[in-house]
Amino acid sequence: MKTIDELLADGVDGKRVFVRADLNVPLDGGTITDDGRIRAVLPTVKALADAGAKVVVASHLGRPKGAPDPAFSLAPAAARLGELLGRDVAFATDTVGESAQTTVAGLTGGQVAVLENLRFNPGETAKDDAERAAFAEQLAALADAYVGDGFGAVHRKHASVFDLPKRLPHYAGYLIATEVGVLKKLTDDVERPYVVALGGAKVSDKLAVIDQLLGKADRLLIGGGMAYTFLKAKGYEVGISLLQEDQVPVVQEYMERAEKNGVELVLPVDVLVSTEFPDLKTKAPATFTTVDADAIPADQEGLDIGPKTRELYASKLADAATVFWNGPMGVFEHPDYAGGTRAVAQALVDADGFTVVGGGDSAAAVRTLGFDENAFGHISTGGGASLEYLEGKTLPGLAALED
C-alpha cells in the first residue's frame, strides 16, 4: 500500500488530488456536535495543500436516498474544515456536475475544495457494478491522483471508496495508515494480557467479532444492551431489557467455547433498572434502582451496568497490555446512565497498556464525557470498519489501495 508520503515525494505542486475523507459528523440542525472526524483528516489535507496541491475533498454524510437532501449537506463540514485549516475552503453544491467542475477548475495550488455529499448521487452506493463505475469515472475526471483517508467508509464497496482508486494513482492518507497500523497491533503479535470490552445495543452486531476474539483475546467484558442476551443465555430473567431471543443459542455456544478456550468471559453482576427509558432530549432525572444481574424485575429494563460491575470491569482492565473497547456500557447519553461507560473509559485511561477506543458510540462517549483524547492510545474514526477488520474480513477500501 503506497502512502501519501510517496505521493508528496514525487511532487504534487499544481496537481489535483482527490481526498476521500470521512466527514460524516453528527449534526444538530446545521450545527456540528462532534468534529472529531474532520480533525482526523486535517494532517492529510494540510500536507497536500502546503505542498501546492489542488485538494478536492469528498465524503458522505448520513444516509440520503441517492438524491440531494439539505438535511445531509456537507456545507457545515466544509465550513468547519476551513476554520480548522485556517484558510478558505471552496464548496461545490453538487458531486460531479457543473458546480463541482467549475469549483475544481478554479482551484490554484494550495487551495482546498469540498464536494457536496457523495451519496446525493445514486451511483455512489449502487449495487450494480456498472452504475458505480460510471460515477467513479466522473469523479476521476476531477483529479490526477487519489488519496484514501476515510477510514470510517473502507468497509463499504462504494464508488468513491472501491472503484475510484482503480482509475487513478492511489495512496493511503495519514489517517488510514495510522488506523491500519493500530489494527495490526490488535491482530498480529498482540501484547498480552489482551482484554476486549464490548457493549452497544445489539449482540448480533458483535457476534462475528466475538467469534474471532474467542481464539485471540484473553478476556472479554460484555456490557450495554447486548449483555442482556448473555444474561438470558445464563437462564436469568432480564425483564423488558433489550433482548435478541433468537441469538440466545449462539451466545450459549460462545460461552461454552470461551470456557473451553480459556478465555475469561465477564458479564455484569449488577445493573441499573427502570420501568421507563430516560428522556434523552431534556435529560430529566431518571428513576432507577440497582439490582443484581440475576434479579432483574420482570417489568423493568436494564439501562447501565451497576457499581459492582464497574469496579469488576476496572479490575479486569487494570493489568491489560492491550485493550480494545467498542460500544458503551449503558445509555451514556443520559447522565444517570453514563456511569458504566465512564468507568470503562477511566479504566482505559488508568491502564498502562496500549488502549484503543473502537470508534462509533465509544468515541462519541469519550468526547461527550469530557475525557482527554490524548489519554488513550488511539481513538478510531471507524467503529464498523474496525470491527470488520477484527472479524478478519477483507475491507473493499483497503483492498483497493493495495492494488
Residues annotated as catalytic (active site), given as ranges: 37, 202, 360, 384
Write phi, then psi, for 302 (nearest 5 degrees): -75, 130
Q: Which three cell numbers stand for residue 271?
A: 445493573
Angle at 152 between CA 150 and CA 154, to 5 degrees: 70
Residue with cell 462519541: 364
The SS3 call for residue 305 is strand
DSSP state of 194: E
CA distance 127 to 178: 30
Angle, helix 174-187 to helix 36-50, in steps of 10 degrees = 120
* CB of 326 closer than 8 Å to CB of 205: no
Cβ-contact 359, 385 below 8 angstroms: yes
- Residue pair 142/114 in contact (Cβ under 8 Å)? The answer is no
Identify whether 193 is preceded by a cis peptide bond (ω within 30 of 0). yes
Q: What are the residues whose beta carbons fall under 8 Å from the beta carbon of 197, sequence distance 6 or more?
A: 220, 221, 223, 313, 317, 323, 324, 325, 326, 327, 344
Kindly report the backbone phi and psi dihedral angles of residue 325, in degrees, each rounded to the nearest multiple of 5, phi listed first. Answer: -125, 125
